């Protein structure tokens, strides 16, 4: 049976034998696995946004239909005869032609 201080003593000896200077960057394999993990996480987040794509398409279609209906109404109203400006000018002319003394 090992004494309870033996694992601690071995750990401290191994730490003392370790090189003092640490590497400045991670090894290629570790850096590559980190890049792959980030890419997977980004694709998973993108999949969440792609789930909203049908709703965005529907909203865009609805907005286009509303804009088309508004443009059609404006063109239809413009062809219906006199515009508001013409009515206003005629009303001003009627006021100027009041009774003469």
In-domain check, residue 42 = yes
In-domain check, residue 60 = yes
List the beta strands (DSSP E) in 12-98: none
In-domain check, residue 59 = yes
Q: pLDDT category, 40, cuts 50, 70, 90? A: confident
pTM greater than the 0.75 cutoff: no
> Which two three-digit tokens encode residue 36?
């792959």
pLDDT tens, 41-100?
888 777 777 788 889 999 999 999 999 999 988 887 666 555 555 555 655 555 555 555
Q: How far apart are CA 25 and CA 28, in angstroms?
A: 9
Question: By residue range, what is the domain housing residue 82?
Answer: 27-95
Q: Where are the alpha helices (DSSP H) in 1-101?
A: 6-17, 28-50, 53-78, 84-96
């Amino acid at each position: 049976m090992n004494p309870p201080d033996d694992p601690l003593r071995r750990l401290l000896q191994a730490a003392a034998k370790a090189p003092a200077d640490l590497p400045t960057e991670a090894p290629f394999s570790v850096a590559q696995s980190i890049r792959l993990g980030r890419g997977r996480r980004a694709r998973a987040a993108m999949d969440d946004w792609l789930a909203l794509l049908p709703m965005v398409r529907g909203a865009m279609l609805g907005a286009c239909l509303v804009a088309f209906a508004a443009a059609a109404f404006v063109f239809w109203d413009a062809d219906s005869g006199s515009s508001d400006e013409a009515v206003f000018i005629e009303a001003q002319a009627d006021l100027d032609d009041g009774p003469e003394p």
